[in-house]
Structure 1
Amino acid sequence: MASPNREVLPLISLLFSLFCLIETNYGESIVSTVNEGLEAQREFDYFLLSLQWPGTVCRRTRHCCASNGCCRRSNAPAGFTIHGLWSNYNDGTWPACCSGPSFDIKEISPLLEGLQKYWPSLSCSSSSTCHSKKGLFWAHERSMGLAHLQLLEMNTAIS
């Protein structure tokens, strides 16, 4: 069995790659679009990295589909996987959904193999995205990440 550090480091590396890919592909356009929807957003206090244990989630799986990582049989996740990386406030709240460009799976195609291994969806149902829409698990997580991307951009510009 791999040590916990060996399992978590690829997860962190994947998250960093996603941030870089978003910045490279969207640059200023995403920041200005997100800024429009964040007039009252305040700077968050910390990131919460949420991991999930597939063994527990997959044991409850009753329906299989192509997007469910639990249904990959011998290729199903064997270690902790990412559930999300969320910005939070010290008072127990978090930034609400942030608007931005529509999620396009083609934009993350270079990362799909890593996403399916370290950040798989463990469900067949569509995840809620912002404004009562439904979509891919990664689209749901991205919608929450747009808020901290905008705040990180503001901090970088000020520094």
Structure 2
Amino acid sequence: MRILPGPDSSTAHRPVAVKSTAKPPDTAIHQQAVCCKCVPDSCEIPTDTPDWSIHGLWPNYKNGSYPQFCDGVPRKFDVSLIKTIEVTLRRMWPNLYPTKTAESFWKHEWEKHGTCAQNLGNLSSELLYFKTCVNLKRLDIIEAAFYVAEIVPRTEPHLLEDIRGALKKELSNGMHVQINCLTDKKTRQILLGDVRMCIDKSFRPIDCPHSKDLQPAVYIQGHPPPLPSFKVFPLLFLSSDSLNFRFMRRL
């Protein structure tokens, strides 16, 4: 599962700089993450969006690759099937780009990833896929983890290891999480893009694979990918034996 920063994500205009002790290179991560030159659109954050928002829930193989655009039934997205949770989705799973609708983002996530997870009972339909993601309730934990670790907006950098340690302690029960970064093309700052937590088929946290172990995505039946609502920089294919829950931080 992936969580994106934002206000699933609150708006924070002061950057949270992060510096890694790993060499090379040192890494700086700021809270202005999701909308910094990662796609050719401006960024517009809905007023009711929390600090962290959901990007998606992705089935993955152990080597980090993942299936895409599977021939599940149904395969095509139907927004009418999720009307009962639409208000919740608009808040917790928004599209931050004004030229694209929230529905287009949900459509992309369902057709690319949700169709490949239908063999699990809790993800066997479009409604169950989105409802399960929302019910995982991991968004507030991220903000709480940073608060407890005193990782707050400031001009001085935070250590990347401190951020990862806070997330492992509060979010993933000590399991390895992945942190994805973006680069601001104007300032060349490296910014916090999203947090990625891996879970097994019973939705329990497990270790995500390390970057050196990751493999490319696998295309199913030759379906080409559509233009996504979000482009991740740099592109990382994460996860472990099953599901990758991704969150975004709003800025």
TM norm structure 1: 0.48
Q: Which has the higher contact order (CA 8 A, sep 6+)?
A: 2
TM norm structure 2: 0.32
